[in-house]
């Protein structure tokens, strides 16, 4: 159990940039095999394997690639990073089938990473919530997906006039419609309603068309075991992939989505699970470090998607990550990392003392089709109100275009 030290806020001013030891964590989702025929799922967006290898070449040539155990020790204060060479931690969210080959690629290079798993894919052999959305739009297109969505609303007697999402082909931006759809699943429905509607779409759209579709979507228990044997670490990504912050004071839901997954993974794989990756990962989806430890001290690390340099003054429960997009080349990724590092090392900075673990024994989308099966280029990755650039928001979804 982590010992929590007093939190302090400090503002540093300097006329000259100083070097600060730390690391940037990367959060990958889909790693697509362009040589493999994906059938009707070819529109899923993500980093292709060839580009992923270029990313790794760049990262190994410029940074210190960290193992999960080293990041834990860094948070405990028992591992030092050079201020002359920034560290990089690789993480992967959602337990996607793509991650098995990604794990192999990393192992061949002597690298290891955190793989954050929604436990529904192992315990129930059912897909995580966003993956249903991604594959559903990739398979059927946005217009057809919305028809199945409305049928699911009727099946569960949810008022269509309240939850309907309307898309007029040629008149509306499909990416905006997908963002609206994702916001509905994430925030407007209850957790149980979201799960029920998405599983109905999974059964009536995906399983009906592709009986073995689950194998294309997520990792199997056997694959996870192999990945652990390769030297990778696993962590929790909730049970069904929900915004943890919306669980509010519902302790039974919090236990089911945050506490039980850790126990399940530890019992299933006989490994210590110390890290949590918040699904979606934005500020509106995460707990503050105070709120998290008030509800559980089962975790030693918690990852968001705040784009920050993680240093020894970064809370171990509010670690940041950058999510590479399908449009990121090795060059643009390098520039982004350098920008994050420069922002973390210079100028005006507010810091929170890390939660010391020293006394302790021990985180794409669819391209979308505009309704007509046409693929479109991904939207720009600039920040937008609904965090539209998030791989899990418009995720890099499926090209609907998503």
Per-residue pLDDT, 365: 56
- Which has the minimum average pLDDT: 106-115, 329-338, 350-359? 350-359
Using CA atoms, how far residue 396 sits from 300, 315, 324, 339, 381, in Å, is: 29, 28, 10, 22, 10
d(Cα 96, Cα 218) in Å, to the nearest integer? 4
pLDDT band of residue 84 (cuts 50, 70, 90) is confident
What number is the average pLDDT over the span 50-65?
Answer: 98
Residues 291-307 have pLDDT tens digits of 999 999 999 999 999 99
pLDDT value for 142: 96
Q: Give the whole-angstrom CA distance, residue 371 versus residue 138.
A: 11
Cβ atoms of residues 12 and 350 within 8 Å: no
Return the pLDDT at 399: 44
Q: How confident is the model at residue 39 (pLDDT cuts 50, 70, 90)?
A: low
Confidence of residue 161 (pLDDT cuts 50, 70, 90): very high
- Of the ranges 8-17, 263-272, 361-370, which one carries the lowest mean pLDDT score? 8-17
Examine the pLDDT at 48 and tell me if it is beyond 80.
yes
Give the span between the Cα atoms of 388 and 23, in whole angstroms. 25
* pLDDT given for residue 400 in this prediction: 45
Model confidence band, residue 359 (pLDDT cutoffs 50, 70, 90): very low
**For range 242-247, the mean pLDDT:** 95
pLDDT of amino acid 19 = 80
Instruction: Read off the pLDDT band of 35 (50, 70, 90).
Output: confident
Domain extents in the chain? 129-217+366-402
Residue 362 confidence (pLDDT): 27
Give the mean model confidence (pLDDT) for residues 301-325. Answer: 97
The predicted-structure confidence for 18-28, as pLDDT tens digits, reads as follows: 588 999 999 99
* Burial of residue 376, with CB atoms counted within 10 A of its CB: 0-12 exposed, 13-18 middle, 19 or more buried: middle
Q: What is the pLDDT of residues 112-126, one digit of tens each?
A: 999 999 999 999 999
DSSP bridge partners of 303: 277, 319
Q: Return the pLDDT at 154.
A: 97
């Amino acid at each position: 159990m982590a010992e929590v030290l007093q939190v302090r806020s400090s503002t540093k001013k300097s006329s000259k940039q100083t070097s600060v030891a730390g690391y940037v964590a990367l959060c990958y989702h889909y790693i697509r095999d362009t040589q493999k025929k994906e059938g009707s799922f070819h529109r899923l967006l993500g980093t292709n394997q060839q580009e992923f290898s270029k990313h790794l070449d760049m990262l190994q040539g410029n940074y210190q690639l960290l193992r999960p155990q080293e990041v834990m020790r860094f948070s405990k204060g028992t591992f030092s990073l050079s201020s002359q060479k920034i560290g990089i931690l690789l993480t992967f969210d959602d337990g996607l089938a793509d991650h098995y080959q990604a794990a192999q690629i990393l192992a061949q290079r002597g690298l290891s990473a955190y793989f954050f798993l929604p436990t529904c894919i192992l315990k129930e052999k059912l897909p995580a919530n966003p993956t249903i959305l991604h594959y559903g739009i990739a398979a059927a297109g946005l217009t057809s997906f919305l028809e199945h969505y409305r049928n699911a609303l009727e099946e569960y007697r949810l008022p269509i006039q309240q939850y309907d999402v309307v898309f007029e082909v040629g008149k509306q931006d499909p990416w905006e419609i997908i963002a609206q759809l994702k916001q509905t699943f994430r925030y407007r429905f209850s957790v149980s309603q979201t799960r029920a509607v998405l599983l109905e779409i999974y059964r009536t759209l995906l399983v009906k068309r592709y009986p073995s579709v689950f194998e294309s979507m997520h990792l199997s228990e056997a694959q996870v075991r192999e990945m652990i044997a390769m030297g990778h670490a696993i962590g929790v990504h909730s049970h069904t992939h929900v915004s943890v912050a919306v669980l509010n004071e519902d302790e039974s839901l919090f236990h089911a989505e945050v506490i039980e997954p850790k126990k399940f993974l530890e019992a299933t794989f006989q490994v210590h699970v110390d890290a949590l990756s918040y699904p979606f990962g934005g500020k509106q989806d995460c707990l503050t470090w105070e709120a998290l430890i008030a509800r559980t001290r089962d975790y030693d690390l918690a990852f968001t998607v705040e784009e920050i340099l993680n240093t020894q003054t970064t809370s171990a429960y509010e670690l940041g990550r950058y999510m590479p997009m399908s449009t990121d080349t090795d060059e643009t990724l390098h520039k982004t990392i350098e920008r994050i590092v420069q922002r973390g090392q210079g100028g005006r900075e507010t810091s929170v003392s890390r939660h010391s673990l020293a006394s302790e024994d021990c985180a794409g989308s669819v391209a979308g089709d505009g309704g007509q099966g046409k693929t479109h280029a991904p939207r720009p990755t600039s920040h937008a109100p609904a965090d539209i650039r998030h791989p899990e928001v418009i995720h890099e979804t499926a090209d609907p275009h998503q």
